Structure 1
Amino acid sequence: MRFLSNKRAIVAGAAALLAVATLAGCSASNGAAGATAEAGQGTYAKSSDTLVFGAVPDQAGSDSNWKPVEDYIAKKTGKKVEFYPTSDYTALIAAAVAGKVDIASFSGLTYVQAVNKGAKLGVASAVVSSPGLKDPGYYSEAIVPKGSPITKLADFAGKKICFVDPNSTSGFLFPLLALSKAGLSVKSSGTDASGNPKFSDFTASFAGAHDKSVQSIATKQCDAGFAEDTEADAAAKKGQVTVIDKQYVPGGPLVYSKALPSAEQTKLTSIMKSITVDDITAAGISTSDGFTSTFFGAIAEKDSYYKSIRDICTQVPAAECAS
């Protein structure tokens, strides 16, 4: 899901490398004993009676928004499910590479990035996170402040553009593809002080989350920008922004760690390959508005579903996520 509705880092900054190295070191020196399952059967991020769940921090409150799924998995497995907090997309990638999560909700790009960096992950399903769609997926939407004279993507040239995160599928990767098709150069012209990419045809600003990107555009801190459909459409209905373009994006995967015992992997795949809101409520688990407004089910998918993400990675110079 993309909360909200979110996988080699887009720009490999020293901070991202340090995060991976630090987490990997911690995994090797601090967590190995407690995480080891029975001999020859795999390992857990924490212990055999606990499953650690990670999620892309697309929106404030992502942890509570995912609570119904955590509780559902806990009830079906009989294990405790513990949320692993991450401050940004890169942190979730690093956690997966370091073996700090057993199950997770990724965006398509962060999943591809994590696997390319060495994370051993299996895809159980992909999340349907927009109403009306019958398959996993959602839309990356280009938006401008209400009343803006900007009416097409070509008008983004020379403007300050709000993106979500350099590792966001709908908030950066697909937007770059759209801008490239509109005639703008999306070849990185270096990096800023934070290690984020700079561009010659426009000024890039990274909000950190989809809701923050929408807010920055609505308040005219940016001339234009991008966000997932859930957040963009909500702001459009309030008369804060105007949607001028959109692209279909593969739904984010629910994944499991291939380091887990094989029997655990099989069980989690069976549980996560198909989840509906009805399944969750039937299990006696309460849901929140934040959850039901962005989660409309999970449908079985495989790694091959994300081929389009990998293809775009080879087309967009600044993405640097092909391998």
Structure 2
Amino acid sequence: MIYSTKPSRGYHSVVIVKADSPYKKLEDLKGKAFGFADPDSTSGFLIPNHAFKQQFGGTSDNKYNNFFSSVTFSGGHEQDILGVLNGQFAGAVTWTSMVGDYNSGYSVGAFNRLIRMDHPDLMKQIRIIWQSPLIPNGPILVSNSLPADFKAKVVTAIKKLDTDDHACFIKAMGGTQHIGPGSVADFQQIIDMKRELVTAR
């Protein structure tokens, strides 16, 4: 399992609104336009979709029993945030670590990325009104068809690179990250949610 630089084994899906809006909780968005990121995104759809189905009933296709006036896929997490800022959505989902400095957009996530791009005051412009339980960080996978001894060697090599040449490890993993043990059980709820969606189609 991949870790970020901060002591977190995962990240969160969050619902945001404009800071100067009257919306304080999810229920306040009744009858309003809502934005998801992408139908294949865990934090941008899968997790909040499951929560909304439990809370309001229905599905995204019927706007959760018409709780929202509209449900739109913006195409990405940053687009969701910008959609809230420009008034396209009253509320929308995105992802963040919820670890680190709030004004910097936390340690990792869509807030942090937008702040570093061209929205330095972003966190003063939005408010988080809902957050999911911790979502486990993504795994490093190898095929089950590979011999057990080869899989063990891959794990050993990755761990060794992390400890022996962390600068190289950072480049190989695409950012400042660490690794730790993980199992299918860590991701079972996500797997079940995805299967439920596929079955319903």
Given the two structures, how large is their TM-score scaled by the length of structure 1? 0.46
Q: Per the alignment, do residues 165 and 240 of structure 1 end up closer, same or farther by CA in structure 2, a change over 3 Å counting? A: same
**For residue 243 of structure 1, what is the aligned residue in structure 2?**
128
SS in 1 for 2:137: coil
Q: Is the 8 A contact 1:146 1:218 kept in 2?
A: no
The separation in 1 between residues aligned to 2:125 and 2:48, in whole angstroms, is: 20
SS in 2 for 1:252: coil
Q: 2:182 aligns with which of 301, 317, 321?
A: 301
Q: Is the 8 A contact 1:145 1:219 kept in 2?
A: no
RMSD: 3.4
Name the amino acid aligned to 2:2.
V
Name the amino acid aligned to 2:79.
K
Q: Is the 8 A contact 2:53 2:59 kept in 1?
A: no
Q: Is the 8 A contact 2:162 2:169 kept in 1?
A: no
The separation in 2 between residues aligned to 1:212 and 1:298, in whole angstroms, is: 30
The separation in 2 between residues aligned to 1:265 and 1:226, in whole angstroms, is: 37
Q: Which of the pair is proportionally richer in helix?
A: 2
Alignment of 1:306-321 (within 5 A): 306-312=187-193, 319-320=197-198
**For residue 267 of structure 1, what is the aligned residue in structure 2?**
153
TM-fit CA distance, 1:174: 1.5
How many positions carry a matched residue from both structures? 179
The separation in 2 between residues aligned to 1:303 and 1:185, in whole angstroms, is: 29
**For residue 92 of structure 1, what is the aligned residue in structure 2?**
none
**For residue 37 of structure 2, what is the aligned residue in structure 1?**
164
TM-fit CA distance, 1:279: 4.3
**Per-residue CA shift, 1:252-282, capped at 9, x if unaligned?**
211123344655433223334687598431x
Q: 1:254 aligns with which of 140, 146, 160?
A: 140
SS in 2 for 1:204: strand
Report % sequence identity: 27
Given the two structures, how large is their TM-score scaled by the length of structure 2? 0.70
The separation in 1 between residues aligned to 2:169 and 2:193, in whole angstroms, is: 41
The separation in 1 between residues aligned to 2:165 and 2:85, in whole angstroms, is: 37
Name the amino acid aligned to 1:244.
I
Q: Is the 8 A contact 1:144 1:241 kept in 2?
A: yes
**For residue 28 of structure 1, what is the aligned residue in structure 2?**
none
Provide structure 2 residue ranges, at least 5 long, that are not aligned to the other structure. 97-108
